[in-house]
Amino acid sequence: MRQERGTITVMTIGFLVFLGLLVVVVVNSSAAFLQRQQLDNVADGAARAAADGLSTDTFYRTGAITLNGSAARRLVGDYVRGPGVRVVQVRADANQVLVRLERSVTLAIAPPGWNPRTTIVSEATAQLRPTP
């Protein structure tokens, strides 16, 4: 019996350390997830705004739907004005536009030695299609 003294203390400390790390991971990942959802909404709106960059000259002359790349980039830049949101990529193909955004977020709980900032990324695509 005497040789087993104090083992519950070591086990309790280990459990509390594990529980603390688990709380840090859950809180930080939840906060990052919510920030990512907000960034997804901004990226979706930016892609829809960029789809408004329809080349009206081409459409009215030939009836073909093509996106004007420079207009799409300008429209995304006008739409994305949030603090800390960076437009990484705007790619306009014939009738489709891809928008990629980044935002740096501060973690809610940053243990010593951990970087308190991380970057979240979101992509959205919008496509123009003629209706019959």
From 112, 114, 117, 123, select the one nearest 47 (Cα to Cα). Answer: 123
Characterize the bridge pairing of strands 117-127 and 85-92. Answer: unpaired
Determine the Cα–Cα distance for residues 127 and 119; give it in Å rounded to an integer.
27
Question: CA-CA distance, 104 to 124, in Å (whole number)?
Answer: 18
- Helix, strand, or coil (residue 30): helix
Distances (CA, A) of 20 to 72, 79, 115: 47, 40, 17
Instruction: Name the pLDDT band for 13 (thresholds 50, 70, 90).
Output: very high
74-89 pLDDT tens trace: 888 888 887 788 888 8
Q: Bridge-partner residues for 20, per DSSP? A: none
The confidence score (pLDDT) of residue 108 equals 85
Which pLDDT band holds residue 7 (cuts at 50, 70, 90)?
confident
Q: Which amino acid is at 58?
A: T
Q: Does the pTM exceed 0.85? A: no
